[in-house]
Amino acid sequence: MADREDNVTVPEFSSLLQMDPYLKPYEKDFKRRYDLLQKRLFELEEAEGGFDQFTRSYKTFGVQRQPDNSLFFKEWAPAAEALFLTGDFNGWDKFSHPYTKKDFGKWELILPPKHDKSPAVDHHTKLKVVVHTKEGERLYRISPWAKYVKREEKSVIYDWVHWDPPQPYNQVHSRPTKPTSLRIYEAHVGIASPEGKIASYTNFTNNVLPRIKDLGYNCIQLMAVMEHAYYASFGYQITSFFAASSRYGTPDELKELIDVAHSMGIVVLLDVVHSHASKNTEDGLNHFDGSNSCYFHSPPRGEHTLWDSRLFNYSSWEVLRFLLSNLRWWMEEYRFDGFRFDGITSMLYHHHGIGTGFSGDYSEYFGLQVDEDSLVYLMLANHILHTLYPDCITVAEDVSGMPALCRPVEEGGLGFDYRLAMAIPDKWIQILKELKDEDWNIGNITHTLTNRRYGEKCIAYAESHDQALVGDKTLAFWLMDKEMYTSMSSMIPMNPIINRGIQLHKMIRLVTHGLGGEGYLNFIGNEFGHPEWLDFPREGNNQSYHYARRQFNLVDMDHLRYCQLYAFDRDMNRTEDKYGWLAAPPAYVSAKHEEDKVIVFDRANVVFIFNFHPNKSFQGYRVGVEVPGKYKIKLDSDMAQYGGHGRLDHSTEFFTEAQPFNGRSNSILVYIPCRTAIVLANEEIDYCY
């Protein structure tokens, strides 16, 4: 193998080394990974006629209606002794429709059409695969390729429901072009309403999409779409990988949601879970053919001790077929624009990140602890997605900081477009929990916001769904807590807690937006300071929906201050849209003043000034700027419409002096009130980026 690695060439590895020379000692690892990828692609070419055909396996597996209306059924169940199809169509006869055994653990069955030439199985009727095991057991299973599954109200188990509507929804709007600045609205359809119930795709289309558009987000990341039997798993314990969750409505209603988003110029990403699968057997993948493996590694390797779930065998040909076709299915059938890959850290390492801290030492990312089967699966997935769909966006959720995660496959990277900057929200929670305002470490905040691998794009966020979950709470609630129940009226003066909370909520978001990455993410409702936390109906809370909803009604009440936070979030995004700082190179931080609690940086020729001091305002404060000329205020967190105190005059023109300051060629003198953030732009620059 060593000799073979020496002969492998990673086409653009030199570009990666130019960016990070410290990766040179691990060249062999990069070569081995790239070689494994090339071997996979070669095998796909040889055995399946290439990845294009292979990843369309959703057109041959499960159930397919043929041109003559006969139905073709196909499954992979290598350990099964026999397979039968049963359902409403045959009066639930368990033996009348046997599958025929084929090579490589495949099973096939053809159902001719009825006398009237219509398909033998009607649209919206139930089906089951009956699996006979070698041990003589009879198991009732849902096809892993099922496109629609549904749970009866009184039932615990989901049913496979044949989905073949007479007039399927046709999407008419083309995909928007890939945004250069990614502003993501992370959303969950089921909680997207103030009502104490599971909200629908249609509610999201009609009531939430217009808000997202108004707020200036150009990308939606949809969580909990892949079917999951347990609602409180937040969509992370998948039972049916090809089925859009029926608890929110039909597949056609999800297609319409995406179509309408596209009409608004918004791209839609799917939160895809290929890192593990639910342990459910009757309505999940587990024990599909009666064996302990099939789609998964045998225990213990095939079990995640912390998540209590099953782990895929990424070296298996049929698992690759299943997962890669799954990605293609969501892109083709629903016309998603890309994916946020969940739980990447668990995939990349044999230890799954359990009980392991990452110091950033490069030896942690190479060697025997790395699971190269799953690493190569991710390279393969990114290579195929970006080849077939050049505008496809892929985002990795990885806490380890794996180098080259977001570099092209040709350089030896994993091929993701973005990684989530997961240290940033943790830092904000830690600060709010542990430090008094006067003890905030400005240098440490700046370091956390700028500490990212050069050349690998990050999605920055102050909080996501993780921070809102039960046991934690939203940033707004950390800041203002129970005062939010009684003191959010704009008809009364702000008390000190509300004043602090409103001002810091805006500043935390803007400094994260401007400094923290090449994309920005907000979790549904947090843009307007959603109170409390998130908790799904479960035994521990008497199946309550009280915390499993988003109270958009709070924004619509003009006398409450939520609409002020909403307005700031909207104008922050719109200002970015105009100046494009997310698409610009990282910021130059010219000031991080501990005593003054001031941060100043410029990015995309826009100057950001933050005064985090709880009570000190600064008159005639010198700020370094690079480009000479006349500057004006373009965004000001202290405006009254944002719940501020209106202390700044927006007609003020700031003229540069040829006095270098803090590493910048010129400087201006500004007034910055306490707990205020301002964005200045040069009036003499054409900002069309």
Which segments in the chain show pLDDT lower than 50? 1-2
Residue 205, CA distances (Å) to 314, 348, 550, 681 in order = 36, 36, 15, 36
Alpha-carbon distance of 668 to 41, in angstroms, equals: 57
Classify burial at 55, counting beta carbons within 10 Å of its beta carbon; exposed 0-12, middle 13-18, buried 19 or more.
Answer: buried
Task: Provide the 3-class DSSP secondary structure of residue 518.
Answer: coil
State the first-to-last Cα distance of the chain, in angstroms, to the nearest integer: 48
Pairing state of beta strands 126-133 and 519-523? unpaired
Closest listed residue to residue 361, CA positions, set 402, 404, 408, 411: 402
Helix 317-332 to helix 372-388 angle (10° resolution) is: 30
342 is catalytic: yes
pLDDT (0 to 100) of residue 213 = 98
Which residues, including other chains, have CB under 8 Å from residue 472's CB and lie 6 or more apart?
429, 466, 533
Tokens linked to 141: 């299973």
Alpha-carbon distance of 532 to 470, in angstroms, equals: 9
Catalytic-role residue among 227, 253, 259, 397: 397
pLDDT (0 to 100) of residue 540 = 86
Kindly report, residue by residue over 122-140, the tens digit of the pLDDT. 999 999 999 999 999 999 9
Catalytic-role residue among 29, 227, 289, 342: 342
- Name the DSSP class of 569: H
- Name the DSSP class of 98: B
DSSP E strands, 502-585: 519-523
pLDDT (0 to 100) of residue 255 = 98
Are 599 and 611 within 8 A, CB to CB?
no
